[in-house]
């Protein structure tokens, strides 16, 4: 199958004829540039035998980790460990659901609820509809950008008749942003499983991402954990951060920090003081 996903989030892709990776099974693969860049950034590893297996299915946990690590890298964050972890993905899931991802346990497709994961479902293959749901959550809750328009995919009517409006909106949004496209026949194939190569190709393009997808807007960093305690705390208080004085290129350290109960501060050294 030709490239299913054409753009990435938070990966700087350098397209050259020689790629720096140790894998013996990705030469001339459509996703080789993305896989190479991801390897250089420490986002992905092989299977221990020299292979990457780009066309193998990818699990829900593996996809969530890739998306979350890209956010971690792009925003200079650290995903904290969690106590009493029972799965390696616990910390990524805890971080995601506390910052940008909102599981919907009222829905269920293919035996799973959108973005709801636990020990029994982490390692299930992820379907393309859920990849779209998670990625759209990143755009909406991190970049504060929402796509729209009538998707140019041939199976959109079938998608609308099968999935909840929240799933339909996610697919519509990503197609509108040109983050995903259809296959050779122009179909999105929402019920198909995603591959390791497709997962790597999902991410943010680090070169002016918000200027491309949300022109005229600032970056919204989501929940600010206030781990150093510099901001005043109170029961039920949640802090958020957003960029200021930034329009493209490498981000500066200028931030506005605001709380859900009306407090607001400005920092010019990325919340250092």
Identified catalytic residue from 32, 34, 130, 241: 241
Hey, what long-range contacts does 33-37 have (CB within 8 A, 24 or more apart)?
Answer: 34/8, 34/197, 34/200, 34/201, 35/197, 35/200, 37/11, 37/12, 37/13
Identified catalytic residue from 29, 87, 254, 270: 270
**Residue 93 near residue 82, CB atoms below 8 Å:** no
Is residue 241 among the annotated active site residues? yes
Distance linking the first and last C-alpha atoms of the chain:
51
Q: How far is CA 178 from CA 70, 157, 175, in A?
A: 19, 19, 5
Smallest Cα–Cα separation from 82: which of 70, 92, 68? Answer: 92
Is residue 270 among the annotated active site residues? yes
Number of other residues whose CB lies within 10 A of the CB of residue 62: 20
Q: Starting from the edge strand earliest in sequence, which strands make up the sheet with 255-259, in order?
A: 220-224, 239-243, 255-259, 264-267
Bridge partners of 75, per DSSP, are: none
Catalytic (active-site) positions: 241, 270
């Amino acid at each position: 199958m030709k490239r299913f996903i054409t753009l990435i989030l938070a990966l700087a892709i350098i397209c050259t004829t020689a790629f720096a990776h140790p894998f013996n099974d990705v030469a001339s693969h459509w996703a080789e540039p993305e896989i190479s860049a991801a390897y250089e950034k420490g986002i992905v590893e092989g299977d221990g035998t020299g292979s990457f297996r780009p066309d193998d299915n990818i699990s829900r946990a593996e996809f969530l980790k890739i998306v979350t690590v890209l956010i971690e890298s792009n925003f200079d964050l650290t995903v904290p460990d969690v106590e009493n972890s029972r799965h390696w993905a616990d910390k990524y899931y805890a971080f995601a659901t506390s910052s940008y991802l909102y599981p919907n346990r009222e829905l269920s497709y293919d035996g799973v609820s959108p973005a709801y994961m636990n020990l029994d479902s982490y390692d299930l293959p992820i379907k393309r509809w859920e990849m779209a749901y998670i990625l759209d959550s990143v755009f909406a809750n991190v970049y504060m950008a929402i796509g729209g328009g009538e998707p140019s995919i041939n199976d959109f009517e079938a998608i609308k008749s099968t999935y909840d409006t929240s799933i339909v909106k996610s697919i519509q949004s990503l197609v509108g942003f040109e983050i995903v496209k259809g296959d050779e026949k122009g179909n999105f194939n929402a019920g198909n499983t995603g591959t390791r190569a497709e997962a790597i190709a999902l991410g943010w393009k680090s070169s002016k991402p918000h200027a491309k997808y949300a022109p005229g807007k600032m970056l919204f960093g989501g929940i600010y954990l206030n781990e150093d305690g510099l901001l005043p705390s109170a029961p039920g208080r949640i802090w958020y951060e957003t960029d200021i004085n930034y329009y493209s290129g490498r981000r500066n350290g200028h931030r506005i920090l605001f709380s859900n109960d009306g407090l607001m501060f400005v920092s010019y050294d990325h919340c250092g003081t």
